[in-house]
Amino acid sequence: MVFATAGAIVADTARAQDSDDRGTLQLHGFMSQALVVTDRNAFFGSSDDGLGSLEYTEIGLNASMRLGDRFLVAGQALSRVAGNYGDAWEPTLDYGIVDYQALTSEALVLGVQVGRFKNPFGFYNQTRDVPSTRPGVLLPQSIYYDRSRSLGMASDGVSLYGERHLANGTLYWQGGIGVPQIGEDAEISLSARRPDLDAKLSTVGQLLYAHDGGRINAALSTARVRADYRSRVTPSSEGEFLFQPVIVSLQYNAERWSVTSEYEYQTRELSGFGDSRANRSTDGESFYVQYQYRFNSRWQWLLRYDYTLSDRRDRNGRLYAATGQGPSYSRFAKDATTGLQWQINPHWSLQAEWHYVDGTAWLPRQDNPDDDKTERYWNLLLFQTAYSF
């Protein structure tokens, strides 16, 4: 409540300044708190114990300002707890950019962003931690997995963007080159033996077409995320890790309902190792179909089916299990989700969401250190309240 009041004051101050001197400084932020309950397996803390886990909290604060006619400077600090995910409460710079819109004609806009930019990846990645932009409490974990999220979050570098206005549609593109912030989360998710990953120059790009004001949206996103890979067990064993996802996104928006679907094909490749047995490439795939229904401007219902597969050549995970690396069901996850969202007022929201999951492919290892002690079938119930201004 204190936060809400403080937020309102800050927002009012920003608005007052705006109308007084036409300054363009804006301050915005958000905060969320969730209760996570599971019957088996732990998700974001000890969710399977007692009344559940409160260890899912997000706080973000940003400032932006226009300088002259063509520059925008913007930055956001993010502090987050998600169970035993590595960086609890540690504030991080989510993005910090100088944006220069070099050309703005009626048919064409061209611009460049320099600094830490959010990777344009699928429909949701750029604002994945902002509750008011998500269709539910959790984004589809097949594509927007939280357990190794640092792989796709943001890059330090340069991004070029543009949009071409057509008769009744707009074509957008964005291409960036930079160094991602690959963290421990990606290391532990890649292998229980926690290899050391050191991010290298990577690329990301997206092409999006919005038809008729966004009634139909279609996008193609791709990235090449590169890192140096070194085993912590045998440090002499080193090579390169390449993560290359391609996402096809489709969405239809009507007044009361939206249907969204995204498909991802991802390649994870290890190369350059002295021992050639370590060099390998694994292709995984994911997709989800999501339906949102708006009863009115305050109430929304969500229905989603989400599927992910770690290795296309081993759909049921039996080959993986046969090698003794872990259970077969840790190589896939089928998640049926339904949820209800209540927008109490323009700032506050409350939502509840239920997942029935078969498989543990995106279950955080941070919360479940022993793969063999996980269960194949589990229920996940989330309640979340969020405030934004």
Partner 1 sequence: MLRTLIVTLLLSLSLPFTTAVQADDANVVVIANPAIAQTSIPLETLRAVFAMRQRSLAGGQALHVFVLDDDAPLHETFSKRILGVYPHQLRLAWERAVFSGTGQAPNQVASEAAMIDAVASTPGGIGYARQFNVTDRIRVLAVD
Using CB under 8 A, which of 2, 5, 22, 236 touches partner 1?
22
| The two structure tokens encoding residue 75 | 């930055």
Contact region with partner 1 (CB under 8 A), list: 221-229, 269-277, 318-326, 338-346: 338-346
Q: Which long-range contacts (CB under 8 A, 24 or more apart) does 67-71 make?
A: 70/100, 70/101, 70/102, 71/98, 71/99, 71/100, 71/101
Contact region with partner 1 (CB under 8 A), list: 61-69, 141-149, 274-282, 304-312: 61-69
How many residues belong to the site for partner 1 (CB under 8 A)? Answer: 62
**Binding status of residue 26 toward partner 1 by CB under 8 A:** yes
Using CB under 8 A, which of 20, 21, 255, 370 touches partner 1?
255
Spatial distance between the Cα atoms of 356 and 336, rounded to a whole number of angstroms: 5
Pair 43, 367: CB distance under 8 Å: yes
Question: What is the amino acid identity at position 277?
Answer: R
Cα Rg, the chain, nearest whole Å: 21
Pair 56, 83: CB distance under 8 Å: yes
Contact region with partner 1 (CB under 8 A), list: 100-108, 182-190, 232-240, 363-371: 100-108
Using CB under 8 A, which of 46, 57, 96, 291 touches partner 1?
96
**Binding status of residue 296 toward partner 1 by CB under 8 A:** yes
Smaller CB distance to partner 1: residue 3 or 295? Answer: 295
Using CB under 8 A, which of 60, 140, 152, 245 touches partner 1?
60
Instruction: Report CA-CA distances (Å) from 126 to 94, 179, 198, 237.
Output: 10, 16, 23, 35
**Binding status of residue 323 toward partner 1 by CB under 8 A:** no
**Binding status of residue 74 toward partner 1 by CB under 8 A:** yes
Question: What is the amino acid identity at position 365?
Answer: R
Question: Which residue bears the tokens 């979050």?
Answer: 153
Within residues 145-184, the interface with partner 1 by CB under 8 A covers 163, 165-170
| The two structure tokens encoding residue 324 | 């003794």
**DSSP structural state of residue 233:** S
Contact region with partner 1 (CB under 8 A), list: 36-44, 72-80, 187-195, 227-235: 72-80
Smaller CB distance to partner 1: residue 30 or 307? Answer: 30
Spatial distance between the Cα atoms of 25 and 87, rounded to a whole number of angstroms: 30
Tell me the closest approach of the beta carbon of residue 15 to partner 1, in angstroms.
7
DSSP of 133-148: GSSSSS--TTTS-STT
Contact region with partner 1 (CB under 8 A), list: 56-64, 225-233, 311-319, 322-330: 56-64
* Burial zone of 188 (CB within 10 Å; 0-12 exposed, 13-18 middle, 19+ buried): buried
Spatial distance between the Cα atoms of 100 and 66, rounded to a whole number of angstroms: 10
Tell me the closest approach of the beta carbon of residue 245 to partner 1, in angstroms.
19
| The two structure tokens encoding residue 156 | 């330090």
The alpha carbon of residue 122 and the mean position of all alpha carbons in its chain are separated, in whole angstroms, by 9
**Binding status of residue 117 toward partner 1 by CB under 8 A:** yes
DSSP of 239-263: EEEEEEEEEEEEEEE-SSEEEEEEE
Within residues 344-383, the interface with partner 1 by CB under 8 A covers 344-346
**Binding status of residue 211 toward partner 1 by CB under 8 A:** no
Smaller CB distance to partner 1: residue 71 or 356? Answer: 71
Contact region with partner 1 (CB under 8 A), list: 32-40, 145-153, 291-299, 370-378: 291-299
Q: Would you tell me which residues interact with partner 1 (CB under 8 A)?
A: 15, 18-19, 22, 24, 26, 28, 30, 60, 62, 64, 66, 68-70, 72, 74-76, 95-97, 99, 101, 104-107, 109, 113, 117-118, 126-127, 130, 132-133, 163, 165-170, 212-215, 253, 255-256, 294-299, 342, 344-346, 388
